[in-house]
Amino acid sequence: MNRTRQLFFPLIMFFTMDVAAAVAAQSDAWKADWEKALQAAKKEGQLVLYGSADFESLFAEFHKKYPEIRVTGVFGRGADVAKRLMSERRAEKYLADLYVNGMTTGYNVFYKGKALDPIPPQLVLPEVVDLSKWW
């Protein structure tokens, strides 16, 4: 029995340390992903927003934190902007980084047109990935 404990305890400790190391590595993996995304955005130099309103005032803090990334946009009525975006996609021009508008256009045009990419794989920051913090 004592011999079993002598073998079992180090095995449990090793397993615990291995799991802890894996969790720590996974919890820090977002930092590399975020840095990679930032570097790509800085290299591109701009974030292109399509929407029904000019959101420039909302990006004041973004400009302060990331001055090397310019926010530009295409703004207009939802249906008009959606028509333009779908025309660009048919021409294999993926110019918009973000589309902000109501749900009707999003559903009727983009969802039905199979033009949406899954959002979760694009999320990086822990406070954004954690669904409990969304609402």
- Kindly state whether residue 37 falls inside one of the protein's structural domains: no
Residue 85 has a pLDDT of 93
Strand partners, 74: 50
Q: Which domain holds residue 85?
A: 45-135
Query: Which CATH number does the domain housing residue 128 bear?
Result: 3.40.190.10
Residue 91 has a pLDDT of 96
- Kindly state whether residue 49 falls inside one of the protein's structural domains: yes
- Kindly state whether residue 58 falls inside one of the protein's structural domains: yes
Residue 26 has a pLDDT of 55
Distance CA 77, CA 75 (A): 7
- Kindly state whether residue 28 falls inside one of the protein's structural domains: no
Per-residue confidence in pLDDT tens, the chain, 135 aa: 445 444 444 444 444 444 344 444 457 889 999 999 999 999 999 999 998 876 777 788 888 999 999 988 899 998 999 999 999 999 999 999 988 888 898 899 999 988 888 888 888 999 999 989 887
- Kindly state whether residue 21 falls inside one of the protein's structural domains: no
- Kindly state whether residue 74 falls inside one of the protein's structural domains: yes
| pTM of the complete model | 0.68
**Could you give the number of structural domains in the chain?**
1
Distance CA 38, CA 40 (A): 5
Residue 20 has a pLDDT of 40
Residue for token pair 């902000």: 100
Distance CA 134, CA 46 (A): 26
- Kindly state whether residue 129 falls inside one of the protein's structural domains: yes
C-beta of residue 99 within 8 angstroms of C-beta of residue 51 = yes
- Kindly state whether residue 128 falls inside one of the protein's structural domains: yes
